[in-house]
Amino acid sequence: MGHLGTLDPFAEGVLPLFLGKMTKLIPHLNLSDKTYRATAVFGKKSTTLDRDGVITNVKLPKNIDSQMVEKALLGFLGTQDQVPPAYSAVKFKGKPLYKYARQNKTVTVAAKKITVYRIFDIKCEMPVVTFSLHCSAGTYIRKIAEDLAEKLGTGAYLNELVRMGCGEFFTLGNAIKLDQIENMDKIRIQEELINPRDILSDYHVLQLAKSDIQERVQHGSGVDVSEDLIEFRHPSRIGGHTLALDQEDQLIAVGVLEFSQGSFLFKPTKVLI
């Protein structure tokens, strides 16, 4: 089993899971952007930047109002450098940063480029601020809350964090709660599995009509294919990513289409069976 992006221990929300050979599809999706709903408490600091850490009180200026908070928050829009929190899964010399932090060791890691596309639904009732944020993968919302508080001359930690969406496809609307999965039988769980064709909706679809051609694809060989077997799903008819299906409509490979000497050539890049 594989997944698209870890969640902090205190957080909840969308976590796309890939089973079996479908884990090979993860590189095609792990650059997806994320949407979060966060609640920060001001006037306090946490060693982990969230409610699971050791929390201490700090001065909270009385003049902070909703306009100041909104202006400071919107200042995070765009591309910027972000230093990962000490308590994070980012690795230094092969070991996650949180392991160094738990041993009271300080390490210096390089900042990473992140992009904040949108900040919306800001609600300020000091000392609590709630906001939604659409950002690139790898963005630490805990760090944004801390940096926001520093702009306002105080401290803050995240009390709640919900991942509302992962890319365009995975949202709370089509997610299943863990307790629901635990109470499902095997048949019901299988019914909830998502067809990769629905996720990779901009990939061409190639229907492999003959077993000998299918066998060559399974061995990683390129094959000549007839145009009438291809469902073109975006304007670029050649060079585009393509899903290859067997005679039972099961995904068996991902590859690229090439056009040469009047015919199409499918070259598998990942075989999934």
Report all structural domains of the chain as residue ranges with CATH numbers, in order of start: 2-171 (3.30.2350.10), 196-271 (2.30.130.10)
Once rounded to an integer, what is the mean pLDDT over residues 13-38? Answer: 88
Once rounded to an integer, what is the mean pLDDT over residues 179-186? Answer: 86
**What are the φ/ψ torsions at residue 145 (nearest 5 degrees)?**
-60, -40
pLDDT of residue 47: 94
Q: How confident is the model at residue 114 (pLDDT cuts 50, 70, 90)?
A: very high
> What percentage of the chain exceeds 90 in pLDDT?
49
> 202 or 30: whose pLDDT is higher?
202
> What percentage of the chain exceeds 70 in pLDDT?
98
Asked whether the beta carbons of 164 and 132 are under 8 A apart, the reply is yes
The H-assigned helical ranges of 49-185 are 66-74, 97-102, 141-151, 178-182
Structure tokens at 213: 């051609």
* Cα 59 to chain centroid, rounded: 35
**What are the φ/ψ torsions at residue 113 (nearest 5 degrees)?**
-75, 130
Give the whole-angstrom CA distance, residue 136 versus residue 120: 15
Catalytic residues: 8
Q: CB-based burial of residue 69 (10 Å sphere; 0-12 exposed, 13-18 middle, 19+ buried)?
A: buried
Tell me: pLDDT of 235 over 80.
Answer: no
pLDDT tens for residues 140-167? 999 999 999 999 999 999 999 999 999 8
pLDDT of residue 30: 65
The pTM of the full predicted model, rounded to 2 decimals, is: 0.85
Q: What sign has the CA pseudo-torsion 88, 89, 91, 95?
A: positive
Lowest mean pLDDT among 58-67, 73-82, 154-163, 230-239: 230-239
